[in-house]
Chains A and B, each alone.
Chain A
């Protein structure tokens, strides 16, 4: 009796979310799945074309370039960002005078509107007057036009994304504070140095947070849109054309909503697959406290 009543109560209380998910997420996703089998330009009704859009991807050179660019961005920002964030968090956890101020400074870029942050960094990277090149000039290095050079544009965007690292740093910091002191004391008794202790005690203990952050940043970096859309518009020579930007362009610049929907669904499947692989693959390394 109560179980039944509780079931109804639970459904009633969660109904806003369930309803919202169906209306704003599942129905649009289903529509997009349908569009992915059509030729559709927004200004004309959709026309069913079967698997054409998916088949077209194999022959679409730009698609592969975009996949490679997105992979480069994701790899760059996850592989560099994760150790960097853990390192910064460890540094900030050595609680000395001023460390909370530094934490605030590190965290603040996370809150800067992404448009403002992107514009600010365009100015930092700008030709000969940008700060980056001015600083390089001080040490006698001749700078380049970072965002307009196909070789440096993507690394420049990755470097910028590393500036927005506040959230993982805070999460790692919280996880490090949760590590029981007794484990450190035991490690000290075993005669471990700080480095060994970090690898043998801290890292395993914060591994759930690492897994969480890696998954989140993979999801985030596969969806990155605003930064390249504002800073480079995908250029130069498509060097920073990433997946979400390509989907947006295909839909709204090339007027191929059908193909764009197919691309978006592939993106969703890739995201799910990667998240699953990481979570399953990390099982052996992640240490959950019971």
Chain B
């Protein structure tokens, strides 16, 4: 600011800043018109529905919502995509400003139900809305179990999924294997995994046959294929250190040993967050077999439609395969009505609409998932985005299918099991690691139970 040239420069800058501030102020003061908010017809009660889905899945739920809005004269549902939905809903409910409907994860149910933060479905029993009542018998049994907590239905279903084995038929052919014969037992899975793996000259993995840490999103699933439970709902205890669970994780560890924990990890690391993109290990042909959900077909269609693949029920331990059971894991997305939401009756109307077979099947088709209902309409599989949806649907309806532990500490359980899985993959002693995990989880359960007890006394 010492010489004149600089001071004129400064002046013009100041003018520019001033103009900028004025312009900004003008824009900020303009009434804001959120795009999403436009078009609420006059006279409708607007209810808000928070849902975690975005992109393709978000568009599918929006289509369902749009159709509902069109058939309505009274209610207008406004869907809002919300990330971090658990914490946002907790804060909103705790803060007394809840939405009318929330799309939760199943593990939220025990937490919110126990706290009385979401309404149980029987609370709507006395409501005369001229609509047929909700029929819980419509749900597949495992789905119904997921929706129920302490004997009462707390949430509705909003699509479900099971997990299957995808295999790359071209890789099978290339190794002289029958592409129509996916493994049905874990022993066969190991054999094929080894046969299909391709190693580079320096020992690096070029292509993986089958690795349990890929994508590694379900670290507690493996005991299911040995017929074991990781949680005893009756006794409310973690049972992941049981004999069958130990066998399951020893089987997992054997794979890691076979190909080397470091080798497999650095192979995995190449994919990073690329799951479900063109770089996904299975979609890009870098993995021959993978455990994945039914949606995988959608992504294969989008990124590598030429991929020659199949999907089937995941293989299981010999003794199960011989016994003719069909084990698996069923998970669902759920729909809840928060207590003290502004429009519970309107929310209930929309809720019941969502629980109809027609809507759930339409949504399941759009999400490329199996139907969560007890019976599947004959036309459901025709033209379904996943040509192998029958396998996923069969698991969903199997009497042997399991659901994730319905405990208030599931999130901690899950976080702890990720570390334990990692330790086991790296070579930790399986019984010791599982015993430690079990005692940590049971510690969490006991702490939680003690707190519940103290709360109910108070």
Interface residues of A, Cβ cutoff 8 Å to B: 39, 41-44, 47, 49, 56, 59, 61-62, 126-128, 144-145, 147-150, 237-238, 252-255
Contacts and interface: CB of A to CB of B under 8 A. Distances in A.
A255 B90 contact: yes
B454 interface: yes
Instruction: Classify the secondary structure of A's interface with B.
Output: loop
A216 B14 CA distance: 31
B112 A43 contact: yes
B412 A144 contact: no
Interface stretch (B263-271, B287-295, B305-313, B314-322): B263-271
B356 interface: no
B451 A49 contact: yes
Interface in B277-307: 279
Contacts of A238: 415, 419
Nearest to A56: B447
Contact of B270 (A49, A127, A147, A237): A127
B451 A39 contact: yes
A148 B117 contact: no
A128 B447 CA distance: 44
Contact of A127 (B86, B272, B419): B272
Nearest to A251: B87
Contact of B454 (A39, A61, A149): A39
A141 to B, nearest CB: 13
A43 B93 contact: yes
Interface size on B, as a range, is: 35 or more
A42 B115 CA distance: 10
Contact of B86 (A39, A147, A253): A253
B90 A127 contact: no
Contacts of A47: 451, 454-455, 458
Interface of B: 84, 86-87, 90-91, 93-95, 111-112, 115-117, 265-266, 268-274, 279, 411-412, 415, 418-419, 422, 440, 443, 447, 451, 454-455, 458
Given A43-B90, A252-B91, A126 B272 contact: yes
B455 A44 contact: yes
B111 A144 contact: no
Contacts of A147: 272
A138 B73 CA distance: 64
A39 B455 contact: yes
Contacts of A41: 90, 94, 111, 115
A238 B415 CA distance: 9
B214 to A, nearest CB: 13
Nearest to A128: B270
Nearest to A235: B418
A127 B284 CA distance: 15
Contact of B115 (A44, A126, A145): A44
A41 B422 CA distance: 30
A44 B111 CA distance: 11
A254 B412 contact: yes
Contact of A252 (B87, B412, B419): B87
B117 A43 contact: yes
B90 A42 contact: yes
Contacts of B415: 62, 238
A231 to B, nearest CB: 11
A148 B115 contact: no
Given A237-B418, A238-B419, A149 B269 contact: yes
Contacts of B115: 41, 43-44, 255
B235 to A, nearest CB: 22
Nearest to A148: B272
Nearest to B265: A149
A149 B422 CA distance: 12
Contacts of B116: 43-44
A61 B419 CA distance: 12
A150 B266 CA distance: 11
B111 A145 contact: no
Contacts of A149: 265, 269
A144 B443 contact: no
A135 to B, nearest CB: 17
A167 B94 CA distance: 39
Contacts of B447: 56
Given A237-B418, A254-B411, A43 B271 contact: no
A255 B412 CA distance: 11
Nearest to B94: A42
Contacts of B451: 39, 47, 49
A43 B94 contact: yes
A87 B288 CA distance: 52
Contacts of B265: 149
A59 B439 CA distance: 12
Contacts of A42: 90-91, 93-95
Given A43-B112, A44-B455, A144 B94 contact: no
Nearest to B111: A255
Contacts of A145: 269-272
A7 B93 CA distance: 46
B271 A127 contact: yes
A126 B422 CA distance: 22
Contacts of B270: 127-128, 145
